[in-house]
Structure 1
Amino acid sequence: MTSSDKRDRAAEIAAAADAVVTGTGPVIVDAGKADRRIEFVPSAPVSGWSVADGTAVDGDTLLVELGDAPTVETARRVAIAAGARLSGGPVAVSAPPALIEPIIDGLITAAPPGNEVTLLVDESQLPSAVRGQLAADVARLARLLVSAPANLLTPSAAAAWATRIADNAGLSCTVLGPDEVRAQGFGALAAIGGGSSDGPYLVTLDHLPEAGGPEVALVGKGITFDSGGLSLKSPAAMQSMRLDVAGAATVLAVMAGLRRAGCTVPVRAVLPFAENLPGPGAARPGDVVTAWNGTEIQILDTDFEGRVILADALALAADSEPGLLIDLATLTYQAEIALGPEIAAVLARDDEAATRLLAAGARSGEPLWRLPYDERYLNQVRTASGVRNHPLHDSGRAITAALFLGEFVPRTVPWVHCDMTGPAWSGNASIDGATGFGARTLLALLT
């Protein structure tokens, strides 16, 4: 990637971040009418209907078939297909009131770049349409951050983006650099980031810090690139590993939108950023390190790095005793094996916490499914003096990963873990395949 390419990518991320904060992206939403229309209908009322793409043009009106019983998810998917046909200027949107939010979201998500479009809706639907616009803007920022090449979104660059976003979005922000991470006892994060010349960073963001302690705390896995460390991945397995920052990038994008969303809930985000490389300071299989809460971690496999950096972040986030703690991570391929590439796994020892996240996913049209948090497998995680990052078993690893994380969250803190390995990316490693999954769910939960 040339310096010019990097500037173009950085400018695109900056524009997307500004759009999240201000709501003035290339596609905006307002109330009103226009000569050109997009109508979302249950079935096709005209003879020129094309089953192939589900749309037909009748004069200045684009007709889009929703089907007889559309869900939030299917409505957004249909709108994404229609959004690719948007061109510049005002367009009126007609849709069922209950689905206007995901439909506006989908239209904006798919709008071709370079076109300035105004989507006009009935006055009564404007609040829902504006929420759809915010969801699309936040998800786009998450996609751009995750899809950015790893030589652009390094740990230090990720921390710099977090600082810039915090300044613009009215968030308080604390950044610990590599020396401070080590000095302040974040031994788990320091170990995983020690192999890279661009060392680990720990970012804390607060929305409404003046309200006191956070009611909700969010943690995201922020591995900007994962080679596996000394437990080196195969070349093919490394190709898409810029996606491993998806949890932290998604949380950062959501935090950027909270003021615009009118969120009245105090929210804290703790984001550990590291690059997992086999450099001179890399952790070795068998090393024992001490996490921020004093728990010893035996690192048996340096490619099981995500749970290690999350250990420090979860311990710090739990220390403020939030009413709900959520972590997002691309943590285990076994979650994808269990649920396929489009459904995220939810694991929790607290039923109410799990229910809140699952309900938010249902409202936002992002598929989540609960897997058991079963402590019968704790002996695969615990050692005589702490925990180990590898369970020494080939099965049940989505569960044992969650059990490992649970050792860093006191039982008094309601906590839920979301493993989004499958739905965080779509397509091959060569394309910008980040999906922004999880952003809409967190927005629904917090607003």
Structure 2
Amino acid sequence: MTSTDKRDRAAEIAAAADAVVTGIGPVTVDAGKADRGIAFVPSVPTGGWAPHVRGDTLLVALGEVPTAETARRAAIAAGARLRSGDTVAVSAPPGLTGPVVDGLITGAPAETTLLVDEAQLPDALRGQLAADVARLARLLVSAPANLLTPSAAAGWAARIAENAGLTCTVLGPDEVRSQGFGGLAAIGGGSWDGPYLVTLDHLPETGGPEVALVGKGVTFDSGGLSLKSPAAMQSMRMDVAGAVTVLAVMAGLRRAGCAVPVRAVLPFAENMPGPGAARPGDVVTAWNGTEIQILDTDFEGRVILADALALAADAGPRLLVDLATLTYQAEIALGPEIAAVLARDDDAAARFLSAGARAGEPLWRLPYDERYLDQVKTPSGVRNHPLHDSGRAITAALFLGEFVPRTVPWVHCDMTGPAWSGDASADGATGFGARTLLELLT
């Protein structure tokens, strides 16, 4: 990648971040009418739901029981048929205006204008926000790892926080070590660009957060000294998805009118086999005092999340949610398009799953079953590898649970499968999780 390429990527991210904050993006949404239109209808014409052009109206059939997910997917396909400079009126079945506008914006070229009836404008603007937030998340996840380093990720967080009215605290590598974040320091110690811990607050003046968000922010995962194969490394810029998706959502909270005090804790590290890398068998101490035995440096995500979860839980939120591309066994269990949800608290799980259903992001709950707890416990703390080949999505959650007091309702979302689509060469980030968090918070 040339320096010009880097500048172009950075400018694209900056523009997307500004669009999330201001609402002024590549596609305009407003109330009004137009000579040309797109009508989304529930009936299924012969040949399926695919778009059919009739005169000046593009008809898009959604199926007999359309959902937010199917409406958005259909609208993405319809948006791809638009041309830059088009102005079209949009109509959708009740309750689906938001997902339809979201999908149209995601699929349409720049300089497109979408017009809706005045009564549907609030839902349409909400759809626009969802599309803007997801676009920012996609750009950050897809950014090459030599562009989105830990220090650069922290810099983007500070820039976005300033523009979005968030309070931001950034701890650099020396502060991470000196303030006792032993897991994050160990995993980030093998990189020339050391670990960073970012805390963002929305509406901090109201007191402690009601909701805390944590995201896994491994900007590149080589596996550390437990080195991955070359093929397994190719897509590992995606391992930052949890943290930057949370960052993108935080950027949009003021625009969304979110009245809930929200805190985000984002650990950023590059897992490399450099001179300061953690060794298999090393024992480190997390921020809450729990000892972690690092048996496999490629099980790094849970180690940096341990510090972040402990810090986030210390504020006593009424709900704590983490997003992470944590285990391939979640993808093996649920396939590439469904994220795994694990939780101790049924009410917290139901609240998160309901938000996912409204957002049109597929989630499925896996058991948080403590019968496997002995696989992660040691006499003096926990180990990051369960020493078993099966049930690893569960044992990963059990490991994380040791850093969240039982008094804090907590949900873990393992989105390894749906965070990326396509091969490692493509910009395959999907922005998964952003829409669910927006529904949860607003």
Normalising TM by the smaller chain, what interval? over 0.9
For structure 1, which segment, 77-86 or 57-66, has the greater mean C-alpha deviation from structure 2 after superposition?
57-66
C-alpha displacement of 1:111? 1.2
Question: Equivalents in 1 of 2:261, 2:43: separation in Å?
Answer: 44
Q: Secondary structure at the match of 1:273?
A: strand
C-alpha displacement of 1:409? 0.4
1:90 corresponds to which residue?
87
C-alpha displacement of 1:86? 1.8
Q: Deviations over 1:79-111 (max 9, x none)?
A: 010010122142100111211110000000111
2:53 corresponds to which residue?
57
Task: From 291, 301, 320, give the equivalent of 2:315.
Answer: 320
Q: Secondary structure at the match of 2:39?
A: strand
Residue 70 in structure 1 maps to residue 74 in structure 2: no
Aligned residue runs from structure 1 range 104-183, under 5 A: 104-112=101-109, 115-183=110-178
2:39 corresponds to which residue?
39
Question: Equivalents in 2 of 1:407, 1:64: separation in Å?
Answer: 49
1:249 corresponds to which residue?
244
2:272 corresponds to which residue?
277
Aligned residue runs from structure 1 range 360-399, under 5 A: 360-399=355-394
Letter in 2 for 1:106: G
C-alpha displacement of 1:39? 1.1
Question: Equivalents in 2 of 1:366, 1:54: separation in Å?
Answer: 21
Query: Which TM-score applies when normalising by structure 1?
Result: 0.97
Question: Equivalents in 1 of 2:258, 2:80: separation in Å?
Answer: 31
Q: Deviations over 1:94-130 (max 9, x none)?
A: 1112111100000001112xx3111100111111111
1:3 corresponds to which residue?
3
Is 2:419–2:430's contact at 8 Å kept on the other side of the alignment? Answer: yes
Question: Equivalents in 2 of 1:350, 1:68: separation in Å?
Answer: 35
Is 1:44–1:64's contact at 8 Å kept on the other side of the alignment? Answer: no
Is 1:155–1:274's contact at 8 Å kept on the other side of the alignment? Answer: yes
Question: Equivalents in 2 of 1:94, 1:349: separation in Å?
Answer: 41
Is 2:137–2:248's contact at 8 Å kept on the other side of the alignment? Answer: yes
Question: Equivalents in 2 of 1:52, 1:41: separation in Å?
Answer: 12
Query: Which TM-score applies when normalising by structure 2?
Result: 0.98
Q: Deviations over 1:423-447 (max 9, x none)?
A: 0000100000000000000000000
C-alpha displacement of 1:44? 6.6
Q: Secondary structure at the match of 1:138?
A: helix
1:16 corresponds to which residue?
16
Q: Deviations over 1:284-335 (max 9, x none)?
A: 0000000000000000000000000000000000000000000000000000
Q: Deviations over 1:239-274 (max 9, x none)?
A: 000000000010000000000000000000000000
1:29 corresponds to which residue?
29
Task: From 218, 230, 234, give the equivalent of 1:235.
Answer: 230
1:331 corresponds to which residue?
326
C-alpha displacement of 1:68? 1.5
Q: Secondary structure at the match of 2:243?
A: helix
Is 1:20–1:257's contact at 8 Å kept on the other side of the alignment? Answer: yes
Task: From 296, 306, 309, give the equivalent of 1:311.
Answer: 306
Letter in 2 for 1:5: D
Letter in 1 for 2:59: L
Q: Give ranges in structure 1 of 5+ residues lacking alignment.
A: none
Q: Deviations over 1:134-184 (max 9, x none)?
A: 000000000000000000000000000000000000000000000000010
Letter in 1 for 2:104: L
C-alpha displacement of 1:59? 2.4
Question: Equivalents in 1 of 2:53, 2:73: separation in Å?
Answer: 19
Q: Deviations over 1:59-84 (max 9, x none)?
A: 22211111211111101100010010
Letter in 2 for 1:23: G
Q: Give ranges in structure 2 of 5+ residues lacking alignment.
A: none
Q: What RMSD over aligned residues (CA atoms) do the two structures have, in Å?
A: 1.0
Q: Secondary structure at the match of 1:34?
A: coil
Is 1:53–1:81's contact at 8 Å kept on the other side of the alignment? Answer: no
